[in-house]
Structure 1
Amino acid sequence: MVDVYVSDHNKNFREILTGYDPNSFIETWVENEQYQVDFVLHKLEANSFEFDLVDYESSLFLEGQEFIVKKVVLSANGSIVSKNVNAQHISLTMQDGYQYNTKTGTLSVMDCLKHIFSGELGDMGFVYDFVDKNKIVEKVEQENFGNANYLQLVQEVLNDYKLVMLVDNKHLTFIPREDYGQTTENEIRYQYNTDEVSFDIDTMSLKTEIRGFGKKKEDDTYYFSPRTYRSSEYLRWGRRIQAPIEDDRYTVAGNMDRRLVLELQDYPATSGNITLRLPYKCGKGDFVRFIYEPLGLDYDIQIVGYKRYPFSSIIPPEIILSNNKRSIMSIMAQLARTINKKGVK
């Protein structure tokens, strides 16, 4: 059994946490959006010191990851005193730093990251790498990049350069979305390891062709001719044109080509929640084969979030799957809100 540790804000004490309800302990992760733990802690005669340590800005350590307590609700029912606790992953503390200065020009990912973490509070102890093994991410024209907190600016980088951020405490690794996630042999099959399925399947957004327009020069000509990408799914579904991308940050055709491939929704957009009834190791970003006979579904979908109960033997994990390329951020934000509503009461 993995232990949870608690430490005060100044790291003077570090103790094994006991007295929490194992069925209330939830770890929630949503890609590029959310990473937190929630639980109910009961005050016992044997854990009074640890109980008091769990307070605002104290630290919890789960499987090597540090979470900072941000919300504590103290309650009493007769002689039973409890705390409802919410703790956010330490990587989200970057929101406390602010970069007042702005930068304009054709910037690489590392240019942006160096600018972010040279802000008012320095790097705050964060270290970061950018791993682009296939050299597919090019520079992007930025205008007035800055004047926001570190977390907001990192989100801009993730969106502008189509990246995923992997976190290991304060070590941040940025990778292209194309390189993210492992294709696994795992199957999620209806009535085998799941029987609660809530899915949104949309063919209205199914398209096979998209065009992109970049920046114009002063003489009203483009830096590069408009680019058109047509998917191989054209042979199956015919010509279906997605709304064009018009973005004057692009001065390099290769950048636009990559974005067109990433954003064209050339298969039915599918997203939803699955409650598993068998143990399942939720790998961040894994591609799993989803088979759901009642709807005739059989294809790979990526895990973009999960809610798991690491100390419960009776509550199965819930995983969030999506292959919706066009609105992945809005889907994950909505799913994050849904998870929050289902949190510890």
Structure 2
Amino acid sequence: MAILAVKDVSGIAEPLPGFYVTRSNGVEGEKTVSVTGYKTAANQYGYNLVKNENILIYKDEEYVIKTHKEKTFKNGVGVEVTALHRIFDDLINYRIYEEKSGTLRIDAMLDFALKGTGYTYEVDKTDLPTSVEVQNFGWDNSLALLRSILEKFGAEFDYVGKHIYIAKKIGSKKDEPFLRYKYNVSEPEKEIDTSSFATYIRGFGKQNEDGTYVVQAEYTSPLAKIYGIKHAEPVKDERFTDKDSLLAEMKSKLNDSLDISLTFTAIELASMGFSDVRKGDYLWCVIEPFGLNVQLRVLTIEDYSNDKKPPVFTFGSITKKASDLIADFDTTKKAVDKVIDTNTGTIKTGAINTSGLATKSELDAHVKNTEIHVTAEEKALWNSKDSGGAAADLEKRLTNITWSQATLKNNWTQYSDASGTYVTQFGKDMVGTVVLRGIVASGTVGTSTPIYTLPVTYRPTYPHYFCGSAGPGYIFTGVIKTNGDVCVEKSTNPTPNAFIALNTQFKI
């Protein structure tokens, strides 16, 4: 399970074991997390920091909590929050108090809009205009100015941390793999929206003092021969003084397109070779009942901290001019015909890459592996417990752990105070989650002086980094090495070994 932590405005951070995360990553640039969990002894310090405007840290990205709902569960109090990637909070709260006018390149506009924010950028200029004409660009927050730049240049953006990536289109077009009805797609729905459809538009540029216009233009779509003249809202813009520029603007505003939306359930994506599909990618899709061979785009990817729950892809179609859409059918069909036998409706043998596929004997050995599969008796015992949502699920997992007491070394001892002694233990639940708990003190801080060493079957595949409480108001950073050593790297407590709360978990 991916680790979630929370940090307050003063920089104090605490882990949130037992919390569940749903992350949504959309092609329009939005990236949010929804988090649920309830208060336990393992997360009590972090739970108290889950408040509006504090920071959630998840998969090396920071999200600002914007909504917070606390409620009661059967086993105590819990919380549900949503958080927005901090780029939006940072940029909307930074303002530019000047303006620019003239013909500007995208780099100059980005330098101006992001000046002082601490954010960097890179631009793939393929298919982007060299420059655009702007008037009074500025006097707004940096997020609004960034959105304005993307609109003017017809671009999209993505980001990692404080680095922004801009291109005509985020993602790539893939010839393979593909989606097909009844093969790895079920329950398709098709919707065509023509509510804003038009075939004719007029444009007016800069106006003379006598009320006439320096330039005027009109444009009629070829689709007017099929659907008739349907007037669009005219373009009136003082920036234009030549007909070619005005016509280009008019054509971009005219919606002489058919908006086709396809929704469906995609199944067995991983086995079809979809492991490298990313937000913004385009995939071929064949829906025979609708007579469609079209290219779909990944609009949103939703993933989860629960490793057992696969990510969900939301696909949408490209909005194209109707004439282009019709022309593309032939191109798409040729691409699909390379991998599908049209006589049998099955994939051609030569199109399948069998490298890395499991043999039947390997699959049988995997199915019979009792260490990673739940038996019928275990399942019945699990299901017999009272169900109460996420809280009850966590309780079931915890109560099925067999705990072992750690053998402390390097002068580390059990911590005790008036509230009692919290024995240092480790355990593993039914689905392979290793859990550490307990409080220690007095040992030697450092990655070469472990507190204790986990047995071979409890060790992480990769180093597991975590943080925790080093006493009221203090935190420490720790690491569990692949050799099982549980170490404290650094502590903010002036007496760094006075109090170390070992509360973390990881999947093996």
- What TM-score range do you get, normalising by the shorter chain? 0.7 to 0.9
1:202 partnered with 2:177: no
1:114 partnered with 2:107: no
1:295 partnered with 2:290: yes
What is the aligned partner in structure 1 of residue 95 from structure 2? 98
Task: Look at both structures and tell me which one has the larger radius of gyration over its CA atoms.
Answer: 2
**Amino acid paired to 2:283:** V
**Amino acid paired to 1:52:** N
TM-superposed CA distance for 1:89, in Å, is: 0.8
What is the aligned partner in structure 2 of residue 144 from structure 1? 136
Name which of 71, 79, 87 aligns with 1:83. 79
Question: Counterparts of 1:218 and 1:315 in 2: how far apart (Å)?
Answer: 62
CA 1:104–1:32: 2 relative to 1, 3 Å: same
Name which of 34, 38, 41 aligns with 1:42. 38
Counterpart secondary structure, 2:302: strand
Name which of 126, 130, 142 aligns with 2:123. 130
Counterpart secondary structure, 2:286: strand
8 Å contact kept, 1:194–1:275:
yes
Q: Encode CA deviations 1:41-100: one digit per residue, 9 max, x unaligned.
A: 122222222322333233223333222222221111343211101111121111111223
Question: Counterparts of 1:317 and 1:147 in 2: how far apart (Å)?
Answer: 40
What is the aligned partner in structure 1 of residue 468 from structure 2? none
Q: 181-190 or 307-316: which moved more?
A: 307-316
What is the aligned partner in structure 1 of residue 150 from structure 2? 158
Counterpart secondary structure, 1:45: coil
Question: Counterparts of 1:299 and 1:101 in 2: how far apart (Å)?
Answer: 46
Counterpart secondary structure, 2:42: helix
CA 1:217–1:155: 2 relative to 1, 3 Å: same
1:319 partnered with 2:314: yes
**Amino acid paired to 2:99:** T
Taking structure 1 as the reference length, what is the TM-score of the superposition? 0.73
Name which of 160, 172, 186 aligns with 2:177. 186
Name which of 23, 41, 66 aligns with 1:70. 66
TM-superposed CA distance for 1:299, in Å, is: 0.8
Larger relative contact order (Cα-Cα within 8 Å, sequence gap ≥ 6) = 1
Counterpart secondary structure, 1:268: strand
8 Å contact kept, 1:196–1:276:
no
8 Å contact kept, 1:305–1:321:
no
**Amino acid paired to 2:84:** Q
1:19 partnered with 2:12: no
1:276 partnered with 2:275: no
**Amino acid paired to 2:178:** E
**Amino acid paired to 2:64:** I
CA 1:158–1:80: 2 relative to 1, 3 Å: same
Question: Which ranges of structure 2 fall in alignment gaps of 5 or more residues?
Answer: 322-389, 391-508
8 Å contact kept, 1:198–1:274:
yes
Question: Counterparts of 1:38 and 1:287 in 2: how far apart (Å)?
Answer: 27
8 Å contact kept, 2:298–2:313:
no
8 Å contact kept, 1:140–1:251:
no
Question: Counterparts of 1:297 and 1:174 in 2: how far apart (Å)?
Answer: 32
TM-superposed CA distance for 1:181, in Å, is: 2.4
TM-superposed CA distance for 1:226, in Å, is: 5.0
**Amino acid paired to 1:200:** E
TM-superposed CA distance for 1:307, in Å, is: 3.2
Taking structure 2 as the reference length, what is the TM-score of the superposition? 0.52
**Amino acid paired to 2:19:** Y
**Amino acid paired to 1:155:** R
8 Å contact kept, 1:278–1:316:
no
Count of aligned positions: 312
Q: 60-69 or 198-207: which moved more?
A: 198-207
Question: Counterparts of 1:51 and 1:63 in 2: how far apart (Å)?
Answer: 19
What is the aligned partner in structure 1 of residue 494 from structure 2? none
TM-superposed CA distance for 1:308, in Å, is: 3.5
8 Å contact kept, 1:205–1:268:
no
Question: Counterparts of 1:29 and 1:273 in 2: how far apart (Å)?
Answer: 18
8 Å contact kept, 2:5–2:13:
no
Counterpart secondary structure, 1:306: strand
CA 1:144–1:125: 2 relative to 1, 3 Å: same
8 Å contact kept, 1:107–1:140:
yes
Question: Counterparts of 1:188 and 1:126 in 2: how far apart (Å)?
Answer: 38
8 Å contact kept, 1:200–1:270:
yes
Counterpart secondary structure, 1:56: coil
8 Å contact kept, 1:203–1:269:
yes
Q: Encode CA deviations 1:161-193: one digit per residue, 9 max, x unaligned.
A: 11111111221122224xx32112232333333
Question: Counterparts of 1:64 and 1:252 in 2: how far apart (Å)?
Answer: 50
Question: Counterparts of 1:37 and 1:193 in 2: how far apart (Å)?
Answer: 28
TM-superposed CA distance for 1:111, in Å, is: 2.8
Question: Counterparts of 1:168 and 1:253 in 2: how far apart (Å)?
Answer: 41
Please show how residues 28-39 of structure 1 align to structure 2 within 5 Å: 28-39=24-35
Question: Counterparts of 1:254 and 1:36 in 2: how far apart (Å)?
Answer: 42
Question: Which ranges of structure 1 fall in alignment gaps of 5 or more residues?
Answer: 327-343
Q: Encode CA deviations 1:102-160: one digit per residue, 9 max, x unaligned.
A: 33222222332233234xxxx222112333145x4132222222232221221111112
What is the aligned partner in structure 1 of residue 446 from structure 2? none
Question: Counterparts of 2:240 and 2:252 in 1: how far apart (Å)?
Answer: 15
- Identity score, percent: 23
8 Å contact kept, 2:286–2:294:
yes
CA 1:247–1:194: 2 relative to 1, 3 Å: farther
